[in-house]
């Protein structure tokens, strides 16, 4: 599951890991589902040109990640490689570490996570979601997931919505988990640049405790946000994905970047512990960016497209601190 910052993946991964394997997305394009015309990717695509932040003669180059992207995208990383060859420093994407290798502790965590995945007291999704909203969900599920899993009605609303969202993306030729981010991470590690890790460490029990504090109102806000995105923004996602793939900088600057998963997780993670976590990661990335601009002639980092173009994104915050931000 993906959102504006990668740290949200770590926060929900322990829940997602408890779900059964889902073949519904692969089947959603068949079995009578209505299929929007898929994106066809041919040849290698350059991806977006780089944004830059300057301080005097020093430059921090920023690669804009986007999700979802076309399935099977053959991305050409040479724009990033040319910067990495001369970079003195690289800044990793913000992330959370909530790991344990203790098998007994892991077993207890998985058991706790399973309790969070399922609705309480043998109730069903239809009982927890208002009738009008549930009818929207059923209509979309019929279209994009005609073959549902036996446990679907027992699943918490947010997780049911995310499963449907994945199926809808698959249906229009998009995917959340492309290889672009993994490729960039590998190239950054293999470069000769000094790597700054933007990391927040938490105990896994702490993460689960915060998840247990999510209110029903927040979860329904998440659920509705994803339903609206599926109903209204699939064509927009395809347009943004294509513009990203061909490196259409003007289009990328012009687009809005509605983020249904980000909005969903903003609602879910409104508990004080998660708000503090988000603020900590933003603060650490900004500190590393300023250090890079004071230390290296050339440096490199990766941010979601939203943070490059939004009025309150991380690049806007650097501009407010006096740095020069130049879009391609």
pTM score of the predicted model: 0.78
- Compute the C-alpha angle 208/210/213, nearest 5°: 115
Residues 6+ apart with CB under 8 A from 230: 140, 144, 164, 165, 168, 260
Eight-state DSSP code of residue 197? P
249-301 per-position pLDDT tens digit: 898 888 877 655 556 666 656 555 566 777 888 899 999 999 999 999 999 99
Tell me which residue of 308, 294, 290 sits closest to 50, measured CA to CA: 308
Domain ranges of the chain: 7-326
195-251 per-position pLDDT tens digit: 998 887 776 776 677 677 778 888 888 899 899 999 999 999 999 999 999 999 898
User: pLDDT over 70 for what percent of the chain?
Assistant: 73
Q: What are the helix and strand counts (H, E) for the chain?
A: 16, 12
Contact in structure between 200 and 97 (CB atoms under 8 Å):
yes
Say which residue, 41 or 180, is predicted with more confidence: 180
Give residue 23's pLDDT band: very low, low, confident or very high (50, 70, 90). very low
Tell me which residue of 77, 52, 314 sits closest to 186, measured CA to CA: 77
159-177 per-position pLDDT tens digit: 899 899 999 999 999 998 8
């Amino acid at each position: 599951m993906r959102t504006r910052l990668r740290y949200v993946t770590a926060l929900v991964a322990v829940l997602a890991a408890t779900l059964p394997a889902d073949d519904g997305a692969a089947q959603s394009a068949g079995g009578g589902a209505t299929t929007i015309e898929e994106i066809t990717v041919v040849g290698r695509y350059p991806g977006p040109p780089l944004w830059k932040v300057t301080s005097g003669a020093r430059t921090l180059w920023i690669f804009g990640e986007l999700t979802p992207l076309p399935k099977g995208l053959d991305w050409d990383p040479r724009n990033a490689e040319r910067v990495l060859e001369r970079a003195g420093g690289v800044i990793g994407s913000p992330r959370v570490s909530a790991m344990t290798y203790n098998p007994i502790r892991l077993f207890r965590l998985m058991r706790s996570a399973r309790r969070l995945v399922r609705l309480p007291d043998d109730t069903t999704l239809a009982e927890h979601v208002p009738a009008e909203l549930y009818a929207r969900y059923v209509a979309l599920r019929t279209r994009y997931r005609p073959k549902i899993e036996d446990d679907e009605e027992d699943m918490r609303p947010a997780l049911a919505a995310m499963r449907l969202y994945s199926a809808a993306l698959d249906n229009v030729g998009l995917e959340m988990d492309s290889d672009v981010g993994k490729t960039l991470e590998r190239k950054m590690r293999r470069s000769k640049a000094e790597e700054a890790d933007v990391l927040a460490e938490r105990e896994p029990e702490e993460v689960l405790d915060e998840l247990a504090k999510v209110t029903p109102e927040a979860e329904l806000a998440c659920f509705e946000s994803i339903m609206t995105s599926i109903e209204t923004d699939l064509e927009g996602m395809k347009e943004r994905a294509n513009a990203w793939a061909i490196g259409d900088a003007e289009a990328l600057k012009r687009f809005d970047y509605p983020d249904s998963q980000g909005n969903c997780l903003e609602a879910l993670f409104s508990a004080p512990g998660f708000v503090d976590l988000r603020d900590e990661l933003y603060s650490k990335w900004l500190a590393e960016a300023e250090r890079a601009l004071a230390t290296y002639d050339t440096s490199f980092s990766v941010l979601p497209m939203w943070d490059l173009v939004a009025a309150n994104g991380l690049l806007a915050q650097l501009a407010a601190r006096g740095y020069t931000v130049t879009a391609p």
